[in-house]
Amino acid sequence: TAPGGNKKKSTKAAPAKPLAASTAGDEAAAPADAAARWYRDPLTKAALKPSEPSEPGGKTEFARKKGGEALAQLAKAFRSDMQTSRSFADRFAIRVLESGTQADRVGVMTGLVRDHPLESLAHLEALVAMVTPKAKRDALTVLDAVKSLFLEHLLPPGRRLVPLDRRPFTRLAPVLARKGRDAARHVRALWYFEERLGQLLQQFLDRLDGLLRDPVDAARLRAVAAVAELAVGHRDCRSRAMASLANKLGDPSRRVCGAALHRLRLLAVKRPEMKAALVDEIERLLFRGNADSAAARGVNSGVARTHRYAVCLLCQLPLTAADTNAGGVAGRLAGIYLAFFKAAAKRQEVAGRLFAGLLTGLHRALPFCGPDKLAELSEHARLLFGLVHLAGFNVGVQCLLVLFQLVQRDPSLSDRFYRALYQRLLDIGPVAKRAMLMHLLYRSLSWDSRLPRVRAFVRRILQVATMQDSAFACASLLLIGQLEGDRPGLVTDMLSGGAAPAPADATTGTPMAAAAAAAAASYDPLSRQPEFCGAEAEPLWELPHYLSHCHPSPIVYDGDPLADFSLAKFLERFSFKNPKKAPPPGDPSARFRPRRRSSSAAGAKLAPSREELARIPDEASVAPTERHLHRYLRIVGEGRRPPDDFDSDASSVGDEEFDDFLEDFEQGLSGDAEAADFADDFGRADAERRKKSAKQSTKQKAAGQDGDDSVDDDVGESDGEDDIDMLDDEELSDLGMSSDGEDYEVSGGNREENGDVDIDAEGFAEMLEGDSADQAKAAKRAHWDRVRSDRIDRRAGPPKSRKRRETGGGGGGGGSRAKKRARTGR
């Protein structure tokens, strides 16, 4: 000891030793990071089973008291070691905690909690207390730090937090007695810390709920992201987090609603076991008493928007074969859709986006449901058939998709279904929904067993495609080709003289038999019944029209023709725009991203650049989708990059020249790339014009130079006398003055005051009396020479000041303007 009885401080402070290191057995040999992973102790996993009753209250309170005392003693020892330590990091941390800024204190406390969680429980409590709407800036600063501490360092993975009232004190008493007093103290400290950690986690979720109700959208968005990450990260947060996020589907801000919708979808993908609980939360949100009454009265648009967001979320939940059991997710989803479907049909609200979402959900959920749901939906088949004709394209096709599932279970509805689909083809909707129609056509026509009806659909598809764009025409041809491959002879039998119709007995007197007999005579394109329109009576005269139709015609194609052969995709190939990168296959959020209009064909995925495509010599080695562009580049020669100094308009081609070239190209009159050079003649004429103008400029410079001075130089940098001496006698006479510079008046008035120059009477008379175009050009040239000379005169200075300089008068002692500028420095 030092004099005075004080203990001498050691030169090197020992680090704080956690209680886990003093435990006997295998815990004493724990690695160095055991303090940061407090849950590695096997005794922390000990918990009562759900069927076992809780321990007596006295034992729980005793364990809570002893655990709190042990944890406080551990924190006090750790703080004392930091204060007496000579380490720069420890002294800096103490100074920052005492007098540092808010951000620095948050960083230091976060580091202490991360490295020493048991000893820094007070710092964790302080960090959680900062997350409050009253101090919004501090809350948003510390929000991510507290969330990362819970998810990455404090919460045990794979299990829930166990409170003290669920600990088996009686069963573990002999084990703790064998380990010794220190082991018992260590276990009580761990148990108490875990209970306090669970309480702080719930407190943190409560404070996040407060931020979710903040009036600022940015704060609510940050809180939505934090709650969603906690729900994904640990099971103790999922029930409360799902309730909070489901409630935010009714937020007044659309941004917050969309963020909550996206986070709940990711939760359903990353944690499939939570789909049932998520459906429960959404069902409670949809069937609230006040929401139902407000929606029935139609007085609250926010309620309708909440319902629309909730139905949109349910429609996008991933369904698997495990959801088909009794009481599974698919059956419950179908029940929700049918309940809203009946309510919307009762209120006659069948034209909105909510109803379209319900139809989408029914189409996805019915294949995973039993026959009871289909029987319940079949009661509303009449309404669905009516909507096919009355609603828009999107709702009509969705109704047909749902009805086709009913037809597969009940074939008696097939005639009415195909009649509605046949009528729906006359009104093709927007491009974004055509893929859904093509999918329905292929499924329904492949399932139909009546060839006359299928051939009637083939005729109508070819007729409708002539009025659509090339992408739809190509998709229609590929669809018909696929049907022909599935049923050989479906289309080929109609090419020559029409297919032989099925024999019909017309003596029965039934309306169907009479219609069949009439259909065998001629084709009626306006018939409402596709089966009896006589599609087989005439040859397939619609097909030869596509020989001159502007569309690609691949025989075998595995891509999406509606996207790959669209006008936007064609223009992107001419602009050589690189496709966007697709998300990785393992990304769970890839299914929720909007579908990009990227080509799915093998030839278009790896499309070469312009230079690479132009250098390919053999056309057979080019993909079919690139051959037209390859021919264009080889003929026109666009594969060669123009020189850097190319700034002429010679390469610009007018509409007439381009049309002439296209006609020659289509007729095969264009030869090599040099013969198709549009700018050849224009470039030659432009070069001659440039050469002539250069010669004229050289002559003017040579004629106007006096020593080293040039007319093209800045007039202000030369003397006024030099400006006058630069002109010859003829030019001076045109300006109205002699070579001595005394006569400065210009005929026709003061040109400086008038601001413009007019042609004198003699010059104008000469222009009128000229017999040839050369005389007129010469007169114009003389006029512009006089204009140019007059401008030089005006820029040289006023006439009076120039005359005073000639006589030696004027302030400044005479001299040129350049000398004055040199003296003043301007």
Q: Which of 169-183, 457-471, 607-621, 745-759 has the lowest mean pLDDT?
A: 745-759
Residue among 41, 65, 29, 270 at smallest CA distance from 162 = 41
Say which residue, 776 or 345, is predicted with more confidence: 345
Q: What share of the chain has pLDDT > 90, as a percent?
A: 24
Query: How far, in whole angstroms, is CA 211 from its chain's centroid?
Result: 28
Alpha-carbon torsion, ordered 334, 338, 339, 340, to 10 deg: 110
pLDDT at 446 over 80: yes
Determine which of 296-300, 342-346, 528-532 has the lowest per-residue pLDDT on average: 296-300
pLDDT at residue 440, rounded to an integer: 94
| Higher per-residue confidence, 449 vs 629 | 449
pLDDT of residue 497: 59
Q: Which residue, among 396, 410, 554, 382, has the nearest Cα to 482 in the 3D structure?
A: 554
Q: What is the pLDDT of residues 13-43, one digit of tens each?
A: 333 333 333 333 333 333 345 444 788 877 7
E-state strands within 291-364: none
Compute the average pLDDT of residues 474-478.
91
Instruction: Spell out a b/e string for 112-130, using b for 16 or more CB atoms within 10 Å of the CB, else e.
Output: bbbebbbbbbebbebbbeb
Query: Which one is predicted more confidently, 526 or 575?
Result: 526
Q: Tell if the pTM clears 0.75, that is, is over it.
A: no
**pLDDT greater than 50 at residue 671:** no
Confidence tier at 601 by pLDDT (50, 70, 90): very low
Q: Tokens in use for 509?
A: 């007197």
Q: How confident is the model at residue 355 (pLDDT cuts 50, 70, 90)?
A: confident
The answer to whether residue 458 scores a pLDDT higher than 50 is yes
Q: Pull the structure tokens for residue 819.
A: 């000398």
Residue 364 has pLDDT above 70, yes or no: yes
pLDDT value at residue 719: 43
pLDDT in tens, 160-217: 998 888 888 777 778 777 777 887 888 888 889 999 999 999 999 999 999 999 999 9
pLDDT above 70 covers a percentage of the chain that reads 64
Of residues 680 and 266, the one with the higher pLDDT is 266
DSSP type of residue 709: B
pLDDT of residue 568: 82
For residue 402, the model assigns a pLDDT of 92
In this structure, of 231-245, 332-346, 566-580, 760-774, the range with the lowest mean pLDDT score is: 760-774
Classify 410 as helix, strand or coil: coil
On whether the CB atoms of residues 36 and 153 are closer than 8 A, the answer is: yes
Q: What is the mean pLDDT of the chain?
A: 74
Q: How many CB atoms within 10 Å of residue 194?
A: 22
Q: Which DSSP state fits 546?
A: G
Determine the Cα–Cα distance for residues 554 and 458; give it in Å rounded to an integer: 19
Between CA 70 and CA 73 the distance in angstroms is 5
pLDDT digits (tens, 9 = 90+) for 686-719: 566 666 666 666 666 555 544 444 434 443 344 4
Closest among 459, 428, 430 to 445, alpha carbons compared: 459
Indicate whether 639 pLDDT > 90.
no
Q: What is residue 725's predicted lDDT score, i.e. its pLDDT?
A: 42
Give Cβ neighbours of residue 290 (< 8 Å, ≥ 6 apart): none
The answer to whether the CB of 255 falls within 8 A of the CB of 307 is no
Give residue 410's pLDDT: 87
pLDDT surpasses 50 at 82 = yes
* 147 closest CA partner among 231, 261, 246: 231
Predicted local confidence at residue 508, as pLDDT: 45
CB 221 within 8 A of CB 208: no
User: What is the distance, to the nearest Å, from the Cα of residue 38 to the centroid of all Cα atoms in its chain?
Assistant: 43
pLDDT band at 603 (very low <50, low <70, confident <90, very high): very low
Closest CA to 130 of 120, 116, 144, 111: 144
List pLDDT tens digits, range 175-185. 777 777 887 88
DSSP state of 51: T
Contact criterion met (CB below 8 Å) for 13 and 86: yes
The pLDDT of residue 328 is 82
pLDDT digits (tens, 9 = 90+) for 729-784: 444 444 444 444 444 333 334 443 444 445 555 555 555 554 555 666 777 778 77
Identify the band that residue 443 occupies on the pLDDT scale cut at 50, 70 and 90.
very high
